[in-house]
Chain A
Amino acid sequence: MADEREPPPLFENEDSSEKSPLEEKTVEADQEVNLNDDANDDLFSDPPLLETSPAEDKPEAEDEDESSPAAEESGGGGGILDDVEVQEEPPKKEEKKEEKKEEEPEKMDEEEEEEMESGDTFDVDITVSDPQKVGDGMGAYMKYTVVSKTSDPSFKSSEMTVSRRFSDFLGLHQKLVAFHTTKGHIVPPVPEKSVVGMTKVKMGKGQEENNSLEFVEKRRASLERFLNRSAAHPKIRANTDFKEFLEKDEPLPKASNTAALSGAGMMRAFNKVMDSASKVVSKMDESDQWFEEKTQHIDNLDQQLKKLHTSVENMVNHRRELSNATAVFAKSCAMLGNAEEHTALSRAISQLAETEENIEQLQSSQAATDFYVLSELLKDYIGLIAAVREAFREREKTFHNWQTAQTNLAKKREQEAKLKSTGKTEKLPQVEQEIKDWQERVEKGQREFEAISKTIRREVNRFETNRVQDFRSVIIKYLESLMEKQQKLIQYWEAFLPEAKAIA
């Protein structure tokens, strides 16, 4: 099912039966904001809810899972526009929405702000664990156990456990990107397919080699972060593919077009090149100051993060080196202690060897922390920034479409005028129809553009807030680990000191 299906229309929520209990619940007013976004989608049948939902918000202390139902609507509105199979209801709703938008644009922004801060308290806590190698040789793959705990009632149950293989993750990411990025959402990055790394794992004898163990652990942690970040994004969490990934007990159909050396892979690579070529060609006139600044800012951020990442990687490597050097020294020291004939000195030197061994443990665990906590965080953000850029590009594409439609409309009008002046009226009705079509397309293009612009603004703000908080909490955690290490160091050396003093 997953492969052929197009990205489901945003109003899936209406269609799927899962949603209805949700909607009922939202009417019970004490519900948290998150539910409201789904309910809000068919809100226009029930306008009052629009006003009450902001009122229901009690600004809560920072919750990283922000959502803004009011904003969600516009996102929903933007999303609708994707569906060229225009359903009767959605356009009406979008118009209503737009009216509301025009009426109270500022109020919306404020509400957005509020709702973003209050966030929702539906947590989804996902762990990816237990990497297992399945099969042998080149056909082997890794599978992981994904356990999701959630208080979000839109999920099948509050705790779900499934088994997924790596290509499943890649497939999910692909789908999310295809669906969400076009709307301007920022989809969290997923670890890349690594032919080298996986070959080591495939060829390696089970769990013995350190390198492949490290690689697997790195990947596992990265997949976990991907899922958790995605779940934190209210729109992605609501995505049926995403949910299915977490819920469906059976193995998912193989996402064959994620294979590294496949036809689909080639197509993707080709498309990427085309995209970047078109990016160069169609540089849009940025009329919006905000976007111009943000693009610059994002670029700078990218640069700095990459630099910092390199420095941190160097630090990790040196720490690993130090840890090795210390281990080797400890052994050598132990031998020296044995060779020493003076008993007290011999004992002291052996003590020193032990101390150094303990220190080495500290150092290698510190190196691991350096890596998993700091270095990977930076890498994630570099990936996220790439996703932000993608969203920006989509916006440019939308703009381009709009402009093209305008150009075509102008052409058709010209044509109409020419026909009228020459008196050839047979083709006139046809041209007039075409004009109408293009006019619609122009309007649609404009709407899309504005919608995506709005979505992106919201997304970027969310991204920035998250980023600052993320960095802050990670850095504090890192500093705490450093401090712990130093405290242990004190312990070890203080234990050694009396031994040294006891040398007679």
Chain B
Amino acid sequence: MLNEMDDSPELQNDGKDGDDDGLFDVEDQQKARTDSVDLSSDTSLVVDISDALSERDKVKFTVHTKCKGRTNILDTLTTLPEFSESDFSVTRDHDEFLWLHTMYDENEDYAGVIIPPPPPKPDFDASREKLQKLGEGEGTMTKEEFQKMKAELEAEYLATFKKTVAMHEVFLQRLAAHPTLRTDHNFRVFLEYKQALDVRGRNKKEKFGSLVKLVTKSVDEVLVTGQKDVDPFFERERTFVVEYHNKVKDSTARSDRMTRSNKQIADTYIRVSSGLNALATLEKSDLDNAEAIPESARFFIKVSEMFEKLRKVEARVATDADLKLSDLLRYYMRDTAAAKDLLYRRMRSLVNYQNANKALEKARAKNKEVQQAEKNQEEACNKFEKLSEVAKQELTDYKTRRVAAFKKNLVELAELEVKHAKTQVQLLRNTIATLKEETP
């Protein structure tokens, strides 16, 4: 289905033929999309989603992996899992992605790492609803109007589809790029195992269980975050991350609303254009001389055509704002949440460490099981310190990532807005000039 993207070059073609294969197609768009994250240039393990199918309720992704064959210990700098082939694909659905994320999240070894946020569930409900409403309202509009709106909705549906593909892809690509995470066994299974992973969607009990876990976690969080951190760096980070997360979440929601409104305006232009066309038809019919199109009719036709063109540009404006702004904010909302999780885990670990200390003191005081307590304490200490070290690096990376992504997207947003506004000005200017010319 992705191949259908080629059919709507108008909508997509920014001229950004990234891989210079002469076509602005799937691959370029993927590159254009996965811009919220700047990935490392290490190409020893390359993952992408080469295809996707929408089957009733589910979307099936074709995950395609390329790796530098059998690892030669002398050649590679990083330890890659040993893949049996160098180029292979498997089919995965959304639940399997979630499973992968959970595996990472629950793995203590990665406690110090910011786990890339899982992709959101593919949601076509909004599009479906709109399509349904359109079908119901078919009687109230002309055939052309209906066709146009239908085409718009289909384009929207397609865009949503592509977005979800991109989100899933970015998730995998970040994992593949991360030196620690890429070595995970589960990751390898996910990429390689030909058959479906036995990961059913969580049943009610599990969902409830996870809900309970969430509640206890947030209660915990509150308790834990109440504690002052020993390290000023982390203290600062915590304050920042928590507040930032809130703000970003808010901004994301608002931005979404804004782009949605913008899209709606573009859609109403269709109706206006069609109404003007109808007026033009009336002018034509009310004339003795049926051959020459009266000037008044031409007038309306021109304006009607202009609105049609205008709406295409407006729709692009809305889409671009959605991509560059809303999606950016959304992604960093999730990433920040992941960072928050990291800090929480660290606090947990700190508390454990402090508890172990206390236990040790108590044991020493009572002179009972001192060795055990000492071992525990040492373990807790090591864990904590290792975690902190990794965390520091992760947080710094997160910052750099964020700043770079914002810069890139904001610049692109501004450039696109200017471009579209210029197009509109041009269009309007030409139309006005033509209309004024015809003044008798």
Contact = CB atoms under 8 A, between A and B. Distances in A.
B50 interface: no
B272 A312 contact: yes
Contacts, number: 164
Interface string A475-491: 11001101100110110
Interface stretch (A94-102, A204-212, A329-337, A430-438): A329-337
Given A325-B257, A490-B418, A476 B244 contact: no
Nearest to B250: A332
Interface in A454-469: 468
Contacts of A312: 272, 275
Interface stretch (B103-111, B187-195, B382-390, B427-435): B427-435
Q: Interface extent on A, as a size class?
A: 35 or more
B243 interface: yes
B251 A503 contact: no
B213 interface: no
Contact of B271 (A314, A325, A335): A314
Nearest to B400: A342
A503 B410 contact: yes
A476 B432 contact: yes
B410 A352 contact: yes
B53 interface: no
Interface string A308-340: 100110110011011001101100110110111
Contacts of A494: 414, 418
Interface stretch (B40-48, B146-154, B258-266): B258-266
A293 interface: yes
Interface string B236-272: 0000100110111011001101101110110011011
A322 B261 contact: yes
A297 interface: yes
B61 interface: no
Contacts of A291: none
Contacts of A487: 421, 425
Interface in B387-440: 399, 402-403, 406-407, 410-411, 413-415, 417-418, 421-422, 424-425, 428-429, 431-432, 435-436, 439-440
B98 interface: no
Contact of A340 (B244, B255, B279): B244
B348 to A, nearest CB: 24
Given A314-B268, A497-B418, A348 B406 contact: yes
Contacts of B250: 332, 335-336
B261 to A, nearest CB: 4
Given A328-B257, A332-B254, A486 B421 contact: yes
Contact of A308 (B254, B265, B276): B276
A315 B432 contact: no
A490 B426 CA distance: 12
Interface stretch (A41-49, A85-93, A233-241, A299-307): A299-307
B265 A315 contact: yes
A493 B265 contact: no
A83 interface: no
B275 A336 contact: no
B411 A501 contact: yes
Contacts of B198: none
A496 interface: yes
Nearest to A349: B406
A314 B272 CA distance: 9
Contact of B244 (A314, A339, A471, A486): A339
A335 B402 CA distance: 17
A339 B243 contact: yes
Contact of A479 (B257, B264, B428, B439): B428
Given A322-B258, A471-B299, 17 more contacts: A62-B440, A293-B286, A308-B272, A315-B269, A329-B257, A335-B250, A336-B247, A336-B250, A339-B246, A348-B406, A349-B406, A352-B410, A472-B435, A475-B435, A479-B303, A493-B414, A503-B407
8 contacts: A297-B285, A312-B272, A318-B268, A329-B255, A471-B300, A479-B435, A493-B417, A500-B414
Interface of B: 240, 243-244, 246-248, 250-251, 254-255, 257-258, 260-262, 264-265, 268-269, 271-272, 274-276, 278-279, 282-283, 285-286, 296, 299-300, 303, 306, 310, 399, 402-403, 406-407, 410-411, 413-415, 417-418, 421-422, 424-425, 428-429, 431-432, 435-436, 439-440
